[in-house]
Amino acid sequence: QVQLQESGPGLVKPSQTLSLTCTVSGGSISSGGYYWNWIRQHPGKGLEWIGYISYSGNASYNPSLKSRVTTSVDPSKNQFSLKLNSVTAADTAVYYCARGIVTGGTSYIDWFDPWGQGTLVAVSS
Amino acid sequence: DIQMTQSPSSLSASVGDRVTITCRASQTISRYLNWYQQKPGKAPNLLIYATSSLQSGVPSRFSGSGSGTDFTLTISSLQPEDFATYYCQQTYSTLLTFGGGTKVEIK
């Protein structure tokens, strides 16, 4: 079965760039019918979708973060990545990667499954 | 943005109780509504997709219903492993949004 695993620094300084990678195992990131997502959860709070990227590089982002977010995909490594620049303490959160399922021949995500275990990123000097 | 409002935000219930959680969308989302369960320190786990389809491996005591703007998640007989936080999610809009969560606690 497909599994996802986030990796990256757990501490980032204010104004710097948060960089995370999600490694997909048990399946190919290049398989059709999926978009590869980032979601975050502030401590003790709800879930916020950050954005997705397809294996071909098509991306879509939450407008609230769009100006600071970049995603990329590396099919040769079965990985996709997130960069969030100009971070502040408000970006401290658990960051999850998740596979978005696309059905019915549309280009829209229908649900997320599975999710990575999540990684806590703290923004602090 | 489509706002998703869950109620209640928390509830206390006993093992064996029937539990219902409500999710309301700020505009119609057809049946593009999913439910996730999250336990402390863990990632969310898909329970129900497309309003009422049970994800493989999820116990049949979980069920979902609704359409348009009003949706419910029902646990027919609460089990000890069901104490968790539940989130609804709409995928009608290209801006995907979640409800604020409902924490189910032991009475």
> What pLDDT digit, counting tens, does each position of B21-80 carry?
999 999 999 999 999 999 999 999 999 999 999 999 999 999 999 999 999 999 999 999
User: Can you spell out the DSSP letters for A45-91?
Assistant: S-EEEEEEE-TTS-EEE-TTTGGGEEEEEETTTTEEEEEE-S--GGG
**Residue A63 sits at the chain B interface (C-beta within 8 Å):** yes
CA distance A114 to chain B (A): 7
> Token pair of B15, please?
């093992």
pLDDT the model gives residue A15: 97
H or E segment to which residue B6 belongs: strand B4-7
pLDDT of residue A107 exceeding 80: no
B57 alpha carbon, distance to own chain's centre: 16
pLDDT, position A31: 87
Whole-Å CA distances, A75 to A27, A52, A56, A111: 11, 15, 9, 22
The CA–CA distances, whole Å, from A125 to A9, A23, B89 equal: 14, 28, 34
CB within 8 Å: A63 and B95: yes
CA distances from residue B92 to A89, B27, B51, B68 in whole angstroms, order as listed: 31, 10, 12, 10
Q: Is the pLDDT of residue A104 over 80?
A: no
3-class SS at B102? strand
Selected residue of B96, B98, B102, B103 to mutate for chain A interface (largest A Cβ count, 10 A): B96
Region B80-93 average pLDDT: 96
Which H or E run contains A41?
Answer: strand A34-41
Cβ atoms of residues B50 and B35 within 8 Å: no
Find residues 4-33 of chain A whose CB sits inside 8 Å of chain B.
none
Q: Degrees (nearest 5) of the Cα angle A67, A93, B51?
A: 85
CA distance A68 to chain B (A): 16
Q: In the prediction, which pLDDT does A106 show?
A: 61
Segment A37-64, tens digit of pLDDT = 999 999 999 999 999 999 888 999 999 9
